[in-house]
Structure 1
Amino acid sequence: MSKNEFLKKLKAKNLNTGEYIIVVDYLTEEPLVMGCTQESGVWKIYETKERGGHFIIKELTDEHEAFDYFYQLLLSRNNYLTQNNYSVT
């Protein structure tokens, strides 16, 4: 899916991401972020640590593959948090 399709789907599904926020326009060092951004023609799916700093989960050259992968990652996290009755209030 494209970035725009991803954003629409994410909004419609209202996935539980726990304490994490989702960022898709840039790479950040802010704590507790899951993101997908493009740098030098490469889409990078990343996560940041609780005290800042990031690590790359996966790099892909195709936007559709990157956002499909990122969505599946978030869906897995949602399912895990839902099964364990974890919610952020």
Structure 2
Amino acid sequence: MTKQEFLKRYKDEKLTIGAEYIMVLDSITDEPLVLGCVYNQGVWKIFKTGERGGHYVIKEKDSEEEAFDYFYQEVLIQNRRYSN
């Protein structure tokens, strides 16, 4: 799915990644507790940061569709953790 399709689905399904996490879709950041998906250096990067900051890339994908399909699955996992 594309970024716009992801955002629509995220809103329509009323997903959340938790009160402490924030979602970033425009640039890689080292802020604490971020889950993100951004286009950076020619590839799509799905990344996460820890409580003390500092990002790490979970997965790299060549296409926006592949990246947001993967990111959607990560969001679902986080949503399940937060909902339980």
Moved over 4 A (4+): none
Report the structure, 1 or 2, having the larger strand content: 2
The aligned residue for residue 57 of structure 2 is 56
Letter in 2 for 1:26: S
| Aligned pairs for 1:8-23 within 5 A | 8-18=8-18, 19-23=20-24
Residue deviations 1:5-51, cap 9 Å, x none?
11111122221311211111111111110000011220000001111
How high is the sequence identity, in percent, across the aligned residues?
57
TM-score using structure 1 length: 0.86
Aligned residues: 83
Match of 1:74 in 2: 75
Q: Which amino acid aligns with 2:28?
A: L
* Unaligned runs of at least 5 residues, structure 2: none
CA RMSD of the aligned region, Å? Answer: 1.0
Once residues 41 and 14 of structure 1 are traced to their aligned partners in structure 2, the CA distance between those partners, rounded to angstroms, is 31
